[in-house]
Structure 1
Amino acid sequence: MALSLSRRLAVCALLAGGSFLAFSPLAQAFELVEQGKLTVAFTGDMPGSGWQDGKMIGYDGEIMQKIADKLGLKLQPALMEWSGTIASVEAGRVDVMLGTMGWTEKRTKIMTLSEPIHYFKNGIMQSSKTNWDKLSDLEGKKVGTITGFSFVPELKKIKGLELSLYDTSDAAVRDLIAGRIDAVIGDPPVVSYAIKKNPEWNMQFLAFTDSNADFPLLTGLGQVVYGFNKKNDDLRQKVDAIIGGMWKGCEMKEIGARYGLAADVWYRPAGENFRAGVDRPADYKLPSCKAGG
């Protein structure tokens, strides 16, 4: 049977031992990189994402694995540095990207973004000998962060801050431990997980206590989302429906607890809802895991 040359591919599942294709109950005509597969760009930074025994692991990864299973798709991993993930989605080389990516209005212009899978507040990874939790604490300091992070322009506005950009979180943390920089502003789940796993570092993470309208990405409410090519908004909508069901059952918190994200702060939005009227309706409400869930 000849296959269409179009990239508009039906989501199919090959029956075990069979010689024909059968449509999954959730089949949709999505525009995918490869038939029957969901190609995922990820960084491999835990606790967000990893690949083990043919499946995605980590908080972002485990949720994406469940989504793919429900869609009847096989996950195709595409491990890369953070700086390449969004560009790969834009170019259509992958179907979706993940890696504790925060929602920003700028990113809505180049991708279609999913419902949040958890929330966060940015902060400072630093020595346990200091207690910096304000933007002003970074003035005159040597600070590291990751190339392509949305808040880089805001960091550059802090008086006297000497900024170093890294391709990976590991490289930034190594320089912090070696004393070549004073602090790291990274993904809160990633740095918190790393600190928990390595107590000998004598490091801590403190969230910003500022609420500064001039620094909304650094001090505002963060939403971790998945990014899709704009041509795949139909896929994004199907994924959002699955995410919505997981929020209702508080499955997000159940998964998060396995990766050190058990506190309510990750699952209950507190702060301004920037998405309402931007890439969601004006009356849009953020999902949450209810008390007792």
Structure 2
Amino acid sequence: MKKVLSVMTAAALTLSLAGCGATGTSSSSSADSTVSSTETVSSSEAVSSAETASEDLTTVVEGKLTMSTNAAFPPYEMTTDSGDFEGIDVETAQAIADKLGLELQIDDMDFDSALLAVQQGKSDIVMAGVSVTDDRLAVMDFTDSYATGIQSVIVPENSDITSIDDLAGHLIGTQRGTTGWLYCTDDYGEDSVVAYDDGLTAVRALNNGQVDCVVIDNAPAQEFVASNPGLKILDTNYVEEDYAIGVAKGNTAMLNAVNNALKELKADGTLQAIVDKYINAD
């Protein structure tokens, strides 16, 4: 197995962010902090440097910041019972849109499609816990990192897998198209890895004895373990990686505008407040 190490040095925040996505039904909605599907962002706020930088910004839909995502990974992106979007990524995107004086539109789709949408100019940004990798850097540009993510391993409480070193020779469940899948197939070969459409299906397979463990991002892992008695997370992290917002390759204006907004949100504490709302540090 190759040695697992940090992909990049973490930026201002340290949190666990989903580096994956799941199959979902495509839909569009405007979003606020609880993300109503009908609300429009007010542009009457004080002008920030980010908004100044966005004056000449061209977006997919005029007046809107279109975000492609996969809203199936609490607490980062998810849907409420009423069909609205919420979560860390959702509120962060809303705050960025506010800074840019734009209305936020969220397009929910499967993870691979969310990545393709920004590459093909169908969305302005992609936020779905996207890890920065060399392959992705070849086809899209990334903002500064806004979070450090952790890939964790879920096992049954009575499992003989007690550390990362025990994964060899076991059947590993992952989510299709994620960095967890990439790392595991690289380390153990495709025959040892089963890819599922979403994390919940992978965890169900684990409960049914179809796989021996599941490698997935830490925050969703915590959610799954909390709702599935008899499962636990290994103490040792499988891998750490940086997450950032993806934009179309060469779209320097968008990249700079979003980066400026992120810097302001970090500096004024907004980003940390969003994280604290969804993740208890204890």
Give distance in 2, aligned partners of 1:34 and 1:111. 20
Does the 8 Å contact 2:172/2:214 carry over to 1? yes
Percent identity of equivalent pairs? 22
The aligned counterpart of 2:92 is: 63
The aligned counterpart of 2:69 is: 42
1:247 and 2:266 are equivalent in the alignment: yes
Give distance in 2, aligned partners of 1:138 and 1:40. 36
Shift of 1:201: 2.9
Give deviations 1:86-113, integer Å, cap 9, x for gaps.
Answer: 1111111111111111111221111111
The aligned counterpart of 2:229 is: 201
Does the 8 Å contact 2:174/2:180 carry over to 1? no
Give deviations 1:89-146, integer Å, cap 9, x for gaps.
Answer: 1111111111111111221111111122211222201223337464431111111112
* 1:254 aligned partner, one-letter code: A
Matches for 1:27-106 after TM superposition, within 5 Å? 27-44=54-71, 45-51=73-79, 56-106=85-135
Shift of 1:61: 1.3
Does the 8 Å contact 1:191/1:205 carry over to 2? yes
Shift of 1:151: 4.6
With the length of structure 1 as denominator, give the TM-score of the two structures.
0.70
- Secondary structure of the structure 1 residue equivalent to 2:99: helix
Give distance in 1, aligned partners of 2:245 and 2:252. 12
Higher relative contact order (CA 8 A, sep 6+): 2
Give deviations 1:242-262, integer Å, cap 9, x for gaps.
Answer: 212222344333222222252
Count the aligned residue pairs: 233
- Secondary structure of the structure 1 residue equivalent to 2:201: helix
Give distance in 1, aligned partners of 2:43 and 2:97. 17
The 3 A distance-change label for structure 1 pair 115 and 138 is: same
| Structure 2, unaligned runs of 5 or more | 1-40, 45-50
Tell me how large the CA RMSD over aligned residues is: 2.8
Matches for 1:179-258 after TM superposition, within 5 Å? 179-196=209-226, 198=227, 200-206=228-234, 208=236, 219=239, 221-258=240-277
Give distance in 1, aligned partners of 2:58 and 2:162. 44
- Secondary structure of the structure 2 residue equivalent to 1:99: coil
Give distance in 2, aligned partners of 1:255 and 1:68. 15
The 3 A distance-change label for structure 1 pair 15 and 32 is: closer
Give distance in 1, aligned partners of 2:168 and 2:179. 20
Does the 8 Å contact 1:121/1:207 carry over to 2? no
The aligned counterpart of 2:173 is: 144
Higher Cα Rg, which structure? 1
The 3 A distance-change label for structure 1 pair 14 and 115 is: closer
Shift of 1:65: 0.8
Give deviations 1:255-284, integer Å, cap 9, x for gaps.
Answer: 222222526xxxxxxxxxxxxxxxxxxxxx
1:163 and 2:163 are equivalent in the alignment: no
The aligned counterpart of 2:279 is: 260
- Secondary structure of the structure 2 residue equivalent to 1:186: strand
Shift of 1:35: 0.8
The aligned counterpart of 2:24 is: none
Shift of 1:79: 0.6
Shift of 1:175: 1.1
* 2:196 aligned partner, one-letter code: Y
The 3 A distance-change label for structure 1 pair 105 and 261 is: farther
With the length of structure 2 as denominator, give the TM-score of the two structures.
0.72
Matches for 1:275-286 after TM superposition, within 5 Å? none
The 3 A distance-change label for structure 1 pair 158 and 106 is: closer
* 1:146 aligned partner, one-letter code: Q
